Amino acid sequence: VATQLPTPDKSHYTFNSRDVGKVVQGLMQFEPVILTTPKELADGLMHEMLRVFHDRLTETKDRTWWLAEASQQVSASFSLPADEEWPSLIYGDFGPSQEGPVYQRIELTEELWDILGEKMSAYGLQYNRTLDLVMFEDAIAHLVRVCRILRQPRGSA
């Protein structure tokens, strides 16, 4: 950790207890029925930590270091092997759900692309404008990050 201190070119590498609170706040978005197993809880925790801490890191070596450290800690805490898919987990509240918006894991499927197309069409009808965005995996990942921030109280990046 001592090697990851803020420097003039990484002044945003300052973390405090408020950031830990953001992880907890993110976990509180989940319905209890979503995180029922240790694996699901570890996935949710890792996702929230990725959004709060990992997304602020700018250099590849720092991101690699953080991911290895966090994976080791979460694996040890939950007695689970490190999961290779942790960095690519996507959680949001606009996936396919019959109960309305539920903050849950979102799989990149054709159904998700259809949902996003419907949301863009609804925007076009509401604001009398066409919204022709090309959706691809990275764009969806960034969209989900923005939606996560905006759905939280006093959410900001």
pLDDT value, residue 6? 67
DSSP string over 97-157: -SSS---EE----HHHHHHHHHHHHHHHHHHT----PPP-HHHHHHHHHHHHHHHSTT---
* Mean pLDDT in residue range 27-39: 91
Is it the case that residue 84 has pLDDT exceeding 70?
A: yes
**Terminal CA-CA length for the chain:** 23
Closest CA to 112 of 148, 137, 145: 137
Rounded-to-5 percentages of helix, strand, coil across the chain: 55, 5, 40
**pLDDT for res 75:** 94
Q: What is the mean pLDDT of the chain?
A: 86
**pLDDT by residue (tens digit) across 100-156?**
778 888 888 888 888 888 888 988 899 998 888 888 888 888 888 888 888 888 776
pTM > 0.85: no
Closest CA to 58 of 1, 6, 2: 6
Angstrom distance (rounded) from CA 98 to CA 119: 16
Q: Indicate whether 62 pLDDT > 80.
A: yes
Averaged over 69-80, what is the pLDDT?
94
- Distance, in Å, from the CA atom of 51 to the CA atom of 26, rounded to the nearest integer, reads 9
